[in-house]
Chains A and B, each alone.
Chain A
């Protein structure tokens, strides 16, 4: 179809601007790049860099107040000046798109088959039977099991990874020459992300489709892209081949970005001197009651956390990692007594936390604080920063006078890198990173000994992430804080944690010092998890031996018998299906695997996906 031997898409001086009440705002300026057939170009940037707007402009999908200028020649024709109807005919056929969150990007009210057939009806004149075959074929192509049956399913009946596969299948229905993927794996767990990225590479080899990959994740870029455009605040900072970018970054921003990216192959923090544990958790279990599906159905128990034990000392950081639904947040909330516990013991400085009630429980909370994930949502929008940070003082130290309280708030705001004058401002006036500093100030003002950070940096850009982690480490040294650091990002956890707990389906599968866990992981799940993390280094990405786990995490309502991981484990033996493995010591790690220590690390790679 190509009319010339030149690039498939050639973007020149693309600018996107928005008309706002405060005047015109440029989202993108002077963006130029070219994509050839079969090639993948990455557009990288932090939030607000204009990376998504730059491709929405190509597709004619800008919001009403948006305006694009410049040229973008696709197969010889300019997308920017093309009449709307012609562009619409090209969308979904010649160029198609995959979006970030497959739950909201698929229509929850229509069956998958219906959504796919609508695309075919629009672009190709196929009979009903041909359309059906085409849909089945497309689902099979993205390795969806039982594609015929799946066509009748609705998006909510699929897992996150499967939904994104359906997204991809729909985008590829009309065999587009260009696929635009806007953060296609950001909402997925790391093992599912690895499956998805591998699938995209395979399909590209089969079909020769050119890909524009938009992402904030430099690790994904290193493994997927041939060329990279780095955007900051709508401006191109750097445009180069992928090896070039990582080995010899030219622009100061790129260099900063690469330094800020936490790396799974970096060294962890030095181990603190061993001390008596502050907090001891002993075979803690948490259950949720699931409402019955039918009128007279029985209420069922969902075991979110099963028999987890751990210890935490002053000045120490315990990282907790695992994929969504593994129970890491539930564990933290149970330790803080924010939810009820089904069994086990939690003791803080020798006293039983689970036995505390009323005033004594409130007193204990002064020592146990928490920082939440979404920095803005966790702050009351109607309260000033001073009131938010000062509130724990009103609660725990009611004898302080107003001026004493103000002084403490000012001191705390300074400690987290904000100004005392910020006390009079409100949350919406701050950026995400600043709001998280407020969240940390609120958690620390009562001078707690244990702070739980529940995905505290997950919503932040990498450069901000690095600042917040630095801040946490500084405050930890100054106040001898014990931190529980929960995150799904293994590289971030590596950066801050002295010891790491890996969870799978509510159970602890491995608990080990950071250095041991990341260099010599013992549990097959830990190995798979670590091997799935993309590294921001093209050379090591190419040679990386990835253990691709098949399938996805089973439902915690129906956990597999025996070892919960046996359904996805390459080393599973009959014994694993019957006997729940206990934690036992292998090297310096506690591992819950019957065969830990006997599995050869070389022999771990399997290639079955889906």
Chain B
């Protein structure tokens, strides 16, 4: 298991290198630069600025410098938020995003698995069709449509929940963003759970469990749940990626000061180091979580343990 973990970590390095290099080049290809603004800077000042941030070097050399600093844990200074390093910005805003994302993930998993199980047990009956229709809707409606709709209904018409911002940091401010983020994932997870649960419930070992007189609930939870969750577990990686990309939009719409919002601002302002910092941070997070998913897989399926 240790060897497996080590080999996976080593294998992640090239992935991250490609990710970093591509993003590094892409953001530089984008027109404009970090020091463009409505008021034109005098050319010699701009040249000084560029030199100060090493932007006058060839791109490959800049990339090398960036990687070298990164290897020492230095994300560099932000171009836009002049008094902050990228590390400080991430450290300040990530907890907000983490709270949002973790809540969305928990909601997606619990509701998705529950709905999927109900649909599987009531296969081809009303409950099944309702869950599947709702799931299809959840998948089809994009978050930038869902968010304003939710705000319209729950904030404007009903007045139950705040429309945006973090306010005093109470949970009520997070409810709408969390739901918006979680909805498509709930839908995917419900569909996955339903399909695999139906499959598992047909397998011979479930017949054995029933022949042993076990109650339907015991059969479902003790015998069927573990194998039925395998596809859901392998979807956790993509689900995380979905929630991260979703958070970029959702934080923007609801005005939540999270990492996603910094990412959008950074991209608009051509804040090269900030954008790169978020890319590296989230990229690493996804790689690490995928590794954890693989380890979880081994725990769920004893045949994969070595």
Q: Complex: how many Å from CA A294 to CA B5?
A: 11
Residues of A within 8 Å of B205, CB to CB, are 104-108
Q: Scoring B residues 2 to 39 as 1 if CB is less than 8 Å from chain A, else 0, what string do you get?
A: 01101100000000000000000000000000000000
Q: Is B45 an interface residue (CB 8 A)?
A: no
Q: Indicate if the CB atoms of A118 and B227 lie closer than 8 Å.
A: no
Q: Complex: how many Å from CA A478 to CA B62?
A: 82
Residues of B within 8 Å of A400, CB to CB, are none
Residues of A within 8 Å of B223, CB to CB, are 107, 110, 118
Which stretch from A14-22, A31-39, A92-100, A211-219 is at the chain B interface?
A92-100
Which residue of B207, B227, B301 contacts A61 across the interface (Cβ within 8 Å)?
A: B207
Which stretch from A83-91, A257-265, A515-523 is at the chain B interface?
A83-91
Q: Indicate if the CB atoms of B212 and A154 lie closer than 8 Å.
A: no
Q: Scoring A residues 105 to 122 as 1 if CB is less than 8 Å from chain B, else 0, what string do you get?
A: 111111100100011001
Given contacts A92-B211, A110-B226, A294-B3, contact A101 B204 (CB under 8 A): yes
Q: Complex: how many Å from CA A198 to CA B226?
A: 36
Q: Complex: how many Å from CA A111 to CA B301?
A: 11
Q: Is A247 an interface residue (CB 8 A)?
A: no
Secondary structure at chain B's binding surface: helix, strand, loop or mixed?
Answer: helix
Q: Indicate if the CB atoms of A119 and B212 lie closer than 8 Å.
A: yes
Given contacts A118-B222, A122-B214, A170-B212, contact A154 B204 (CB under 8 A): no
Q: Scoring B residues 208 to 251 as 1 if CB is less than 8 Å from chain A, else 0, what string do you get?
A: 11111111001000110011000000000000000000000000
Q: Indicate if the CB atoms of A294 and B302 lie closer than 8 Å.
A: no
B-facing residues in A499-558 (Cβ within 8 Å): none
Residues of B within 8 Å of A59, CB to CB, are 211
Which residue of A89, A109, A170 contacts B226 across the interface (Cβ within 8 Å)?
A: A109
Interface bracket on B: 20 to 34
Residues of B within 8 Å of A97, CB to CB, are 208, 211
Residues of A within 8 Å of B300, CB to CB, are 109
Q: Indicate if the CB atoms of A90 and B213 lie closer than 8 Å.
A: yes
Q: Indicate if the CB atoms of B203 and A91 lie closer than 8 Å.
A: no
Q: Indicate if the CB atoms of B303 and A296 lie closer than 8 Å.
A: no
Q: Complex: how many Å from CA A123 to CA B205?
A: 19
Q: Indicate if the CB atoms of B227 and A109 lie closer than 8 Å.
A: yes
Q: Complex: how many Å from CA A111 to CA B226?
A: 12
Q: State how many angstroms separate the Cβ of A176 from the closest Cβ of chain B.
A: 10
Q: Indicate if the CB atoms of B204 and A99 lie closer than 8 Å.
A: yes
Q: Indicate if the CB atoms of B215 and A105 lie closer than 8 Å.
A: no
Q: Indicate if the CB atoms of B301 and A296 lie closer than 8 Å.
A: no
Given contacts A105-B207, A107-B209, contact A154 B303 (CB under 8 A): yes
Residues of A within 8 Å of B218, CB to CB, are 118, 122
Q: Is A156 an interface residue (CB 8 A)?
A: yes
Q: Is A295 an interface residue (CB 8 A)?
A: yes
Residues of B within 8 Å of A360, CB to CB, are none
Interface bracket on A: 20 to 34
Q: Indicate if the CB atoms of A91 and B207 lie closer than 8 Å.
A: no
Q: Scoring A residues 247 to 282 as 1 if CB is less than 8 Å from chain B, else 0, what string do you get?
A: 000000000000000000000000000000000000
Q: Is B306 an interface residue (CB 8 A)?
A: yes
Q: Indicate if the CB atoms of B204 and A104 lie closer than 8 Å.
A: yes
A-facing residues in B192-207 (Cβ within 8 Å): 203-205, 207
Q: State how many angstroms separate the Cβ of A89 from the closest Cβ of chain B.
A: 6
Q: Complex: how many Å from CA A104 to CA B301?
A: 14
Q: Indicate if the CB atoms of B214 and A293 lie closer than 8 Å.
A: no
Q: Indicate if the CB atoms of A106 and B213 lie closer than 8 Å.
A: no
Q: Indicate if the CB atoms of A119 and B214 lie closer than 8 Å.
A: yes
Given contacts A109-B226, A110-B223, A154-B303, contact A91 B204 (CB under 8 A): no
Residues of A within 8 Å of B209, CB to CB, are 107, 118
Q: Scoring A residues 350 to 389 as 1 if CB is less than 8 Å from chain B, else 0, what string do you get?
A: 0000000000000000000000000000000000000000
Residues of A within 8 Å of B208, CB to CB, are 97, 99, 105-107, 167
Residues of A within 8 Å of B227, CB to CB, are 107-109
Q: State how many angstroms separate the Cβ of B39 from the closest Cβ of chain A.
A: 58
Q: Indicate if the CB atoms of A89 and B211 lie closer than 8 Å.
A: no
Q: Complex: how many Å from CA A154 to CA B207?
A: 18
Given contacts A101-B204, A110-B222, contact A154 B302 (CB under 8 A): yes
Q: Complex: how many Å from CA A107 to CA B204?
A: 9
Residues of B within 8 Å of A122, CB to CB, are 212-215, 218
Q: Complex: how many Å from CA A286 to CA B197?
A: 41
Given contacts A101-B204, A104-B203, A118-B214, contact A109 B3 (CB under 8 A): no
Q: Complex: how many Å from CA A599 to CA B212?
A: 48
Which residue of B7, B213, B301, B306 contacts A92 across the interface (Cβ within 8 Å)?
A: B213
| Sample (18) of A-B pairs whose CB atoms are under 8 Å apart | A91-B212, A93-B213, A97-B208, A107-B205, A109-B302, A118-B209, A118-B212, A119-B213, A119-B214, A122-B213, A122-B215, A122-B218, A154-B302, A156-B302, A156-B303, A170-B212, A293-B306, A295-B7
Which residues on B are within 8 Å of A, measured CB to CB? Answer: 3-4, 6-7, 203-205, 207-215, 218, 222-223, 226-227, 300-303, 306
Which residues on A are within 8 Å of B, measured CB to CB? Answer: 59, 61, 88-93, 96-97, 99, 101, 104-111, 114, 118-119, 122-123, 154, 156, 167, 170, 293-296
For the complex of A and B, 3 pairs with smallest distance between CB atoms: A91-B213, A92-B213, A92-B212
Q: A99-B204, A119-B214, A123-B213 are in contact. List 10 more A-B contacts (CB 8 A).
A: A88-B215, A90-B213, A91-B213, A92-B214, A108-B227, A108-B303, A110-B223, A111-B302, A118-B222, A295-B6
